Structures are given as structure tokens and as C-alpha cells.
Amino acid sequence: MKTLLVIDVQNDFMPGGSLSVPDGDKVVPVINTIQDKFDLVIATQDWHPKDHVSFASNHIGKAVFEQIPLHGKSQTLWPDHCVQGSEGADFHPDLKTNVFEAVFKKGTDKEIDSYSAFYDNGHLKSTGLAGYLKEKGVTELYLCGLAADICVYFSAYDAFKEGFRSYFIEDASKALDDNVFETLKKEMKAMGIAIVNSNDL
């Protein structure tokens, strides 16, 4: 089953949002156009409690984008974003959501960040997405959304590790840092994740 996974196309990641991805709004019309090419369309939402450990505002004396050690890993401190129930956590108003069969929330545990759609950053807790997809008989998973170099990349990595044939749709995604993403694209290709464009579908 050919499946589209739309990752975190939320207001806070749009121009003017609290954690704005450059040209993040440009992915919306592309994603709307490709949805009918898939048997199944699902989505994720960053869905953080206000006291989330990744928010710089919850660490006295720390600045946004500073790195701190957390649970044996390096943690980037972010601006407050996608707080549960806030307008910033809502999907972009122009995104077609009527065909989303399911929406998986991530980053809900205040103690650990969760970039991937499949697991938290420590791989301690599953979102249940892998089991859901396998139960549906999904074999091909196409990923897109925001941000390409963070949540989309880590989701693609985990999708591949879970055994799905994984495809990254480049023109339906935007990166927070394009330079970082150029390196990550090479990593994805080396792993066996295919990089495609919407007109290849």
C-alpha cells in the first residue's frame, strides 16, 4: 500500500511562526496536490506541553538554539512551539486534512523531545505508528513536511529501519538549515532512502 506521511505542517513552523522554517508555507500547495496519488494519507503533529524540556524558556539562563546535555544526548533548546491546544499547533489553514486517516501526536512527554514520527529521541517510547502502518499492510512510505532536516529526516531514518521502502519528497518539504540538509540528503541516499519530487509520483 502506497502511503503518504505528512509531517508537522503546523502554524508555528510557517513564516511568522515561533519556529519559522524558511518558505515553510510553500509545501502546502504541493502536499495538497499529491494527496490523491496515495492509498493512505496520515499526518503527525508536534504536540508539546507548556513545560516541555526542549523549550529554552524552561531553562533559566539558557538561550534559544543553545545545546545542553539531556539523557546522555545533546539537546537543542527551541523557542516555545506547537503547545498543545494552541493556534501554533494547528495545521496550516490551507492544508487539506479531510483525507487524513489518522493523525499521530508526538513530543507529548515533557521530559524528552521527539523528532521522529515513530519514536522519541531516546527510542524509549513508540508513537505506535510502525504498528499501525504494518497492520494496514503498508510497504511504501513517502515522507514530506517540516522541517526536512529534523523531523522529516528522523522519521525517514526510522521508517527505513522499520523495514518500509522509504521515499523523501523533496519539493514537498523545507529545511530549517539547508546546509545541514545537504549533508543529510547524502546520508539518506547512502542508506537507501530514495529522494523524489512530486512530479515523479
Query: Rounded distance, CA 86 to CA 46, Å?
Result: 11
Nearest-10 crossing angle of helices 178-191, 153-161:
10
Query: Rounded distance, CA 92 to CA 24, Å?
Result: 10
> What's the CATH code, domain 2-200?
3.40.50.850
Question: pTM of the predicted model, to two decimals?
Answer: 0.96
Is there a catalytic annotation at residue 105?
A: no
Query: For the chain, what is the mean pLDDT?
Result: 95
Q: What is the pLDDT of residues 16-43, one digit of tens each?
A: 999 999 999 999 999 999 999 999 999 9
Active-site residue (options: 113, 149, 151, 158):
151
pLDDT of residue 173: 98
Q: What is the pLDDT of residues 103-131, one digit of tens each?
A: 999 999 999 989 999 999 988 889 999 99
Active-site residue (options: 8, 12, 80, 149):
8
Query: Rounded distance, CA 103 to CA 89, Å?
Result: 13
Average pLDDT over residues 88-104: 97
What's the grid cell of residue 76?
537543542
Q: Domain coordinates of the chain in residue numbers? A: 2-200
For residue 102, which amino acid is it? A
Is there a catalytic annotation at residue 189?
A: no
Buried b (16+ CB within 10 A) or exposed e, 30-65: bbeebbeebebbbbbbbbbeeebbbbbeeeeeeeee
